[in-house]
Structure 1
C-alpha cells in the first residue's frame, strides 16, 4: 500500500513536481436535463395585447433565457440530499398573423419552474474570513456556513410551438403572472400583461440544462509546474496587420452564392435552434 501523500515536493517519473493543498468547490452531485416544456403561458407586453386578441394564429420565433432563480433546501427524510428549486425567466418573441400577410412581432415573458434532488453531503462548520469587502470598512466578512451551493447552467431554449386559446372562464384558465424580479421586468421596454386577458398564448420550449451541487472543501492535487502563458499579448491598436492581408486569408463563401442540392437535417443544438426559429 503506498504511503499517504503529504503536501510538498514529489519525485515522480510522470512529471508531478509537488503536491499542493488547495481550497475550492468540489462537485458532489450533478445532473443534466432535456426538458420539453409544453403549454408554457406567454405574458405579452401590454402594447401587444390587442394584436393577440385580433390574431388568427401565432408561430414560434425565438427565446432568450434572462435569469434563473435558484433555492436549495435539505430533504428531511434523506440526510445529505437537497432539493434544488429553479425558476426560469424567458424573453420570448413570436410572430402573430392577422388578416394581412405580414406577421406582427410580439414580445413577452414566459416562466418555468423546475425541481431536482441531488446529493450534497453534510457539514455544519461555521466559516469566518478576513477577506476585504469592497466599498466597506476593512473588517471580517460576515459568518457563513458551508452549505452546498447549487449551480445551474443553461442555454437559450428552442421555441418548438405556439398557439392561441380563448379563455371562456376562470376555471378554464391558469393562474395569473407570478411575482417577477425588477431586473427581469427592466429587460422589457414596457409593462407586461398581468395574465387576465381573454385570449391567451401558450408556447412549447426545448430547454437544455445542467444542475450541480458544490461545497467548499480542501483538496490535495498534483502540480506539474506553474502556468506560464505561451501566447504573447497583442498591442490592441488594431493597426499592426494589413486589412487586405487579413481579407485575402478568408475563404470564399461558396455556399452563400450557390444553394445546396439537398437539405441536411440539423445535427446539433445551434442548427436545430435555427431550424425551429425559422419555421422550416
Structure 2
C-alpha cells in the first residue's frame, strides 16, 4: 500500500520497496535526447607505418625524444567527433550507413636520464564505418529564437573509455629515440533524437536546507595516532587442510 503524499518527501533515491510510493502529483511533458540505437567499437591499436587499419595507426609513434629512460603512464584521454556522414539504406527505412571521423588525444609521460618527468602529446585521427545503424530522421522540424536555421534534432554521440596498454621506447630507422604506444579503447556510438516524453512527476525537487560543510584541517600527527596499526605481512594464499564438513561427516562422528 502506498503512503500518503503528505508523508512523502520527494527526493532522489533508490526505489527499494515496490508499492511504497504515492501516486504522482502530475504528468509532465519533458524534452530530452532519447537513444534510438547504439553499438560498440572496440579497438586495440599499435604503431604501423602506412594507411591505418583496424589494428594499426601511424600516429601512435611520438616525435623524436631527448634522452628518454622509461615510460610511466598516459592521461587526459579525450575524444572529439569531427564529422559524420549518414547514408540512407534504400530497403531499410530509418537505417543508415554511418561514417565516423573522430580524434582521440592524450598525454604520455616518461622519465628522462636527468630524472625529469616529460610529456608527449598524441593526436590519433580515426575513421570507422558502421554498416547498418538505426538512426531515423525526425518527423518534425524545429527552430529556435536564437537562430533562424532549422535545428538538426538527430544527433550522433560518442562515449569512450581508453587506456594505453603498453609504451615502448625504441630507436627508429633514423636513429632517433621514440615512444611507440599500444592503445586500447571502447567507444559507444549512440543515435539520439530530441523527443517529448510524458512522465509521472511529484513536484520540483525540494530546496536543499543543509549547508555545505568545510573540511577541517587536522594535525597529521593526530591522524597518525588515531589510525589503526597496519598489517606487517601480506595475506597468505593458503588452501584449507580439510574439505568442508557435511551432514555425512557429522553422522560418521556420531
User: What's the TM-score, normalizing by structure 1?
Assistant: 0.55
Q: Which residue of 1 aligns with 2:39?
A: 31
Q: How large is the RMSD of aligned CA atoms in angstroms?
A: 4.1
Post-superposition shift, 1:212? 1.3
* Distance in 1 (alpha carbons) for counterparts of 2:223 and 2:37: 46
Shift of 1:213: 1.5
**Mapping for residues 19-168 of structure 1, pairs under 5 Å:** 19-39=27-47, 40=57, 41-42=59-60, 44=62, 49=64, 51=66, 59=71, 61-77=73-89, 78-80=92-94, 81-83=96-98, 85-95=100-110, 105-115=118-128, 117=130, 118-123=133-138, 125-130=140-145, 140-164=146-170, 166-167=172-173
Stretches of structure 2 that go unaligned for 5 or more consecutive residues are 1-20, 48-56, 238-254
Mapped to 2, the partners of 1:253 and 1:93 lie a distance apart of: 37
SS in 2 for 1:225: coil
- Separation of aligned partners in 2, 1:161 and 1:208: 19
Cα 1:248/1:209, change in 2 over 3 Å: farther
Task: State the partner residue of 1:137.
Answer: none
Q: Which has the higher strand share?
A: 2
Structure with the higher fraction of residues in helix conformation: 1
CA distance in 1, matches of 2:109, 2:228: 31
Pick aligned residue for 1:202 from 175, 180, 200 = 180
| Matched length | 201
How far residue 232 of structure 1 moved from its aligned partner, in angstroms, is 1.9
Counterpart residue number, 2:227: 252
**Greater Rg by CA:** 2
TM-score, scaled relative to structure 2: 0.60
Higher relative contact order (CA 8 A, sep 6+): 1
1:262 to 1:122, Cα distance in 2 relative to 1, 3 A? same
Give 5+ residue unaligned stretches, structure 1: 1-12, 131-139, 169-196, 265-280
In structure 2, the residue matched to 1:261 is: 234
Find the counterpart in structure 2 of residue 215 from structure 1: 193
